[in-house]
Each structure stands twice: as structure tokens, then as C-alpha cells.
Amino acid sequence: MRPHVRLPLCAVSLLLLACDRQPTAERVVTRPAPVAEITDAAPEPFVEQVIAPVGVHNFSARDLLALDRVGDPQVSPDGRQVLFTLRKTDLEQNRGRKDLWVVRRDGKPPIQLTTDPENEDAPRWLPDGRKFLFLQKHAGSVQVWRGSLDGDAPAALTSFPVDLANYSVSPDGRLLAFSADVFPDCDADKILACTAERLAERGKKSHSSGQLYTRLFARHWDTWKDGRRSHLFVWPIDGSRPPVDISHALDADVPSKPFGDSDEYVFSPDSKQLVFSAREAGKTEPWSTNFDLFVAPVDGSAAPVNLTQDNPAWDTGPVFSPDGKTLAYRAMTRPGYEADRFRVMVRSWPEGQAKELSPDWDRSADELMFSADSQLIYLTAQQLGQTPLFVVDLAGGPPRAVVSDGAVSQLRRAGDRVVFLHNSLHAPDELASVDLSGGDLRNHTAINASKLAAARMGEALPLEFIGADKASVRGMIVKPVDFDPTKKYPVAFLVHGGPQGSFGNRWSFRWNPQTYAGAGYAVVMIDFHGSTGYGQAFTDAIQDDWGGKPLEDLKAGLAAALAQQDWLDPTRVCALGASYGGFMVNWIASQWPDAFQCLVNHDGVFDNRMMYYATEELWFPEWEHKGPYWEQTARHELHNPVNYIDRWRLPMLVIHGALDYRIPETQGLATFTALQRRGIPSQLLVFPDENHWVLKPANSLLWHDSVLAWLDLWLRSRA
């Protein structure tokens, strides 16, 4: 079950054994000085733990953690420099740590700007191109800080009594829009202080811990609701007046929770208005996907006005053209469907009717960005296992791919070039750019070059075959490291989640096929009916057919892979999946057991009935099974794994996060109970501090070590 905007990756003894096999070491490396102290002098050294083995070696989960993560690129006003975040794994603190870096487009190496032990996040330039803002947690509070390329010491810009979640700077550099969780029944003029006072009062000792709910959501993703909403505020950077809550009149989270960010709101080019996306659905919120675009004056002098009231489905991602004459955004058309096609919509600003750009283009747009002359829109969308960069003319015509291979994201305008992040199956995100026609591809960072050079990976091969309904279906095969065509290799058969998702040519820090290839396994991944990037009809085909066409495709895909590559061993195959992939593992256990020697189920659905009544985002099962459980019982039960437990016999490793409220942990516990009661070899790995994903570094290591140990047990020790 994917998040509604985007879906995861040693008991202690296992971890210690793993460390015995691959010992860590210490090395001395240099780190640039903080912004306030950048000089020509050599920076002081610091000690960093080496996560991955030293020297050339096969790729593993330790390399996955050792790789640094480039994110959130922000181009300076003159287009010559790019601020970005760099996340490193801190094993001692068991978390990721972000610092700010800057790189020039002239090819010089990146420079580190911040070194505070706390995370620095969300960098944003101020108009002078020398100063910038960022989010940082200091003294227990997340606030906006101001830094400078001129050597000035970073200083807190805001000191509000509550944490800030995200923010944006107005085009004229005078205003800050930010979101914060507040109690909506507080007085609008005192809402920040009122919220802080209530939280402090709740923090005092009390004999009662109960929370009374009168409507859903009671909990969402991994958090129980406490009565607060995310509201959008506007504040003058000079502090001349208090913040104005411009979304106070709405019963909605702005931006949306739990994954919404500053991409859901935007200043108008004249800095006088904000356009934002919000779902004002009242008690129907848990089964509604009706997000609308609203516009409000930045001074709060008028209530927000709904710009897309005529569309009962999802509207989001507003962006303005540089000349201020056009508003573009993304829109779905079918209510209650989170995987509908996002169409590109444009309307003249401020008055004008919305129209769809390239209505015959059967791809779902992800990000939008105008060209400097306001005549073109650059966008990303999944396509046949890739996530290319496209460009489309506002005058009409279909989008044209200008960067076709790998996965492109986070588009930024930089004068005569487009800056973006780019990754593939063989490397995580790095900064790159192309000219406006899509030519002259340049790489601006190579943060992980030396680490990638030391870690050997498997070669990826395309797979295409005829699947359900005689449709062309695609997939991918990844060879094991040190591949020898004369040998037979065990197979990790990965089933993606979503189910409207894809295992394509992109990097993942959770389900990464290279971790299996490095351990000597071949990997087979199938983009079955329901997958994204192959046209909306292909994505829609999984509705009310979870165990039908997708299973046919998986069967045909594995058969095709085995037929095309005779080095794949058909007697040593294990199926692994998370979320919907975990559902499919439970379904395979009864419907297709003869092809496998073992199974791995992470956060998978066991019982569709209890899944419906215990999950939080009800629009998901209601769309997938065409209605609430009590109205469409037969549809929910048609492909329900719990009805076929009598057929189970395959060994299964079950993994679940206790904070997973999308697919609650009782689904995993019930799966394990059924396996144990039937006497089937099985293990249960529970993470009390993880949600639908496994995010903490030590937990990720345990996850990978446990999964590979399970595969080794059933595919290697019994070979």
C-alpha cells in the first residue's frame, strides 16, 4: 500500500556475527569548516566509522548505508551555484545526518557549508545569492536559520514556540511561508502560543493517558492523532508583524500529512498570494482523495478561495510561470483513486479556465517546472521502467523525453540549463544538468564515486514477455556479482508493493536488488498488471483482481526469465515482497507454491476483512475492491489469503513494523500464528520502532542480514 504521494527496507547475535564477517575500521578524513569559518587553512580532521568493507568487494547492505544521499538541490538566483543536502549514516546515533553543501556549475568540487551535529535541511536562497535559509533543530526546537557564503556565523531567523515542518521564501525575499502543527480551535491570532501552552500542559504528569476520538483519522501512517492540524502561515522576514494563519478557515492539513511538503504550496510571482493544495473533506477525509487548490492573500485579509471545486478528484503541485501569467498543476479525474493518472493542467492567471495539456499522453506527471521564458514545461513521469525528463510546449503537442535512462527528479531552473537529481540501478542520486534541448548532459557531483568503484554490482538485463490478457509485460533480471555463465544461480524473486508501483531502473535505499546480487543471488523483478509507467489502463487492471492478472504475470515472467537465462536455477527460488508484495507472498503460498522453496513477507496483508477495518486510508481498499467491505464482501474475499491457509506449506520469514498503521502489525502476527499452528518452518522479525518502512540504520542491517540468512538456509544449505 503506497503512501498517497509516493513506498521498505541482525537479532543482536546476527548483527555481531555479521560484524565478525565484515569488520569495521576507523579512518581519518577531513571535513570543511562551518560556514562562519571557511578559510584557505586545512580543516581539522575527524574520525568517521567505515560502514562498508575496505577494498574492492561485493555490494552489500553495508554499502547501502555507507553511500551518501544527495537531496533538495536549490539553484542560486544567478544560476551559477547549487545548494543541496548531503545525508550520511551515523551508526553511533543510529540515524541519518544531513549537512548543507554547495557546488558551482564551473566544475569545481562541492564545498561543505555546515557541520553541526544536528540535521540541516531544506536550504533556500535569498535573492542576493549570498545568503540562504535552512531548517535546523536547536535546543529541542526546529526553526529556520540563516547562513551566508561570506563567512557569517549561522543564526536563528525564527523563534516560534512550536516546531516548523517546512517553509518557502517569497520571490521578493520578504516573506516566509511555513507550516506547523497547531490546535485549530485556538484563536487564530494566538494559535502558535496557544498550541505551545496546551502541549506543555499535556506534558505534565497525569494519571490518565486516554485520548477521546469522535471521528477518523484516529491514527495515520505511524502516528496517533492528538488534535493538531498542519496549518500554513505567512510571516515577514523582518519580523514587522506576527505570522498570519492563512489556512485557519479550512478543516484540512496544509500541506497534507504525513508526506506533504512545500511542493504543495507556492507564492504568486508578485509575492501577494499563496496557492496551496488541501483536502477539506470533514468526516469523509479517510475515504476521500479530493484535494483542491486554494488561493489566499498573504496578509490573511480574505479567506481561501477554492480554484478547483469542479474537480472531485486530486489537484496538487501548483507552479507559476516566471512571467506570472500561467498557473500549472497536476490533476486526477476519478475520486477515491490514489493511482489515477496525474494530468498536466494549465490556466491563465489570475483569471482563466483550466485546460489539460497533452490530453492524449498516457503517462502520469510527477513534477512540473516552467522554462525561463514561460513557454515550456519540464516534467518527470514513469515510462517503461524509467523515469525520464520530458519537455512539452504550452502551445500543444506531446511531451518529448530529453533524458531517457534512469530516474530523474527534483527539477530546478538554472539559466540556460535544467538541474536535477539522477539515479539508476547502479548508482544513487547525483546532481546533473542538461541544456534546454536536453543535450550536453553534465554531472555536477560524484559524491559516491569512490565507494561505488569499490563495490562490485550485478549487471541488469531487460525482460519482456506476454502476460495476462496477452499483453506485453516487462521486468528486469540482475545478474549476481562474479557471474559465471557455466554455473546455476539461486533466484531472489522480488514482488513490488503499491500495488501501483514499479521495480525499474532506479536506485532504492530499501529494496535494492544489488544487495542480493552482491550475495550471489540472481534477481528477477516483474512489473505486473497494476504497475505504473505503462499506461493508465495497465495500472487500472489490478482493481478487484489482486490475485488474478498480477499472479498470471508473475508466473509468466518467472517462466520467461528461466527460459531466456539457463543459468537461473529453477529449483532454488524464493519470493520476497512488502506491502502489496507481502500480500502476494501470502497469496503465492496457497496459489503457486510449487515454484518456490521459501518466502519472505514484509508488512503484508493476511486478511482483507481486518485489513479494511484496521487500516487508516479507507479510500485505498474501497477503490481496490469497489466499495466498503460490508457492501462488497464477495469482492474483498475473492483474493483473501486467510481463506486458503490449509494449502500453506512453504517456509516463510515474516517481518513487520509495530508502528505500521497502513497494514497493522496484527496482519504479520496473524500470518506467523497461522504458519506456526500448521507446523510450517517460519520466523517472525518485529521492529517495535519502525512503520511501513525500515528506516533506522541498525534495523536496516538486521533486516538484510535476516533476509539473506533465510535465503541461504533454504536455497543454499539444501542445494
- The DSSP-derived string for 298-312 is TT--S--EES-TT--
1: confidence class by pLDDT, cuts 50, 70, 90:
low
Instruction: For residue 11, give the DSSP letter.
Output: H
| Average pLDDT rounded to a whole number, residues 623-645 | 98
Per-residue pLDDT of 280-303, as tens digits, reads 999 999 999 999 999 999 999 999
Check residue 317 and give its pLDDT: 98
The reply to whether 531 belongs to the active site is no
pLDDT score of 4 more than 80:
no
| Average pLDDT rounded to a whole number, residues 183-199 | 96
Least confident range from 4-18, 148-162, 466-480: namely 4-18
Check residue 50 and give its pLDDT: 60
The CA-atom distances, in angstroms, between 245 and each of 85, 254, 583 are 29, 11, 43
pLDDT score of 16 more than 50:
no
Neighbour count for residue 49 (Cβ, 10 Å): 13
Check residue 54 and give its pLDDT: 87
Check residue 49 and give its pLDDT: 54
Least confident range from 77-81, 94-98, 200-204: namely 200-204
| Average pLDDT rounded to a whole number, residues 480-492 | 97
- How far apart are alpha carbons 243 and 307 in whole angstroms? 24
The reply to whether 440 belongs to the active site is no
SS3 374: coil
Check residue 719 and give its pLDDT: 58
**Residue 677, class by beta-carbon neighbours within 10 Å (0-12 exposed, 13-18 middle, 19+ buried)?**
exposed
Check residue 209 and give its pLDDT: 86
Neighbour count for residue 185 (Cβ, 10 Å): 10
Quote the cell numbers at residue 480: 549476481
7: confidence class by pLDDT, cuts 50, 70, 90:
very low
Check residue 354 and give its pLDDT: 95
Per-residue pLDDT of 672-700, as tens digits, reads 999 999 999 999 999 999 999 999 999 99
pLDDT score of 29 more than 50:
no
Check residue 234 and give its pLDDT: 98
107: confidence class by pLDDT, cuts 50, 70, 90:
confident
pLDDT score of 52 more than 90:
no
Q: Establish whether the linkage from the previous residue to 217 is cis, with ω within 30° of 0.
A: yes
Quote the cell numbers at residue 109: 568540487
pLDDT score of 38 more than 70:
no
Per-residue pLDDT of 582-628, as tens digits, reads 999 999 999 999 999 999 999 999 999 999 999 999 999 999 999 99
The reply to whether 692 belongs to the active site is yes
What one-letter code names the amino acid at 402?
A: V
| Average pLDDT rounded to a whole number, residues 103-131 | 92
Catalytic member of 220, 529, 692, 704: 692
- What percent of the chain is predicted at pLDDT more than 70? 93
Catalytic member of 168, 660, 704, 705: 660
- How far apart are alpha carbons 418 and 710 in whole angstroms? 45
- How far apart are alpha carbons 142 and 456 in whole angstroms? 40
Strand partners, 414: 417
Quote the cell numbers at residue 526: 516483474
118: confidence class by pLDDT, cuts 50, 70, 90:
confident
Q: Which residue has the higher pLDDT, 34 or 688?
A: 688
- How far apart are alpha carbons 68 and 448 in whole angstroms? 7
Q: Which residue has the higher pLDDT, 16 or 192?
A: 192
Check residue 19 and give its pLDDT: 30
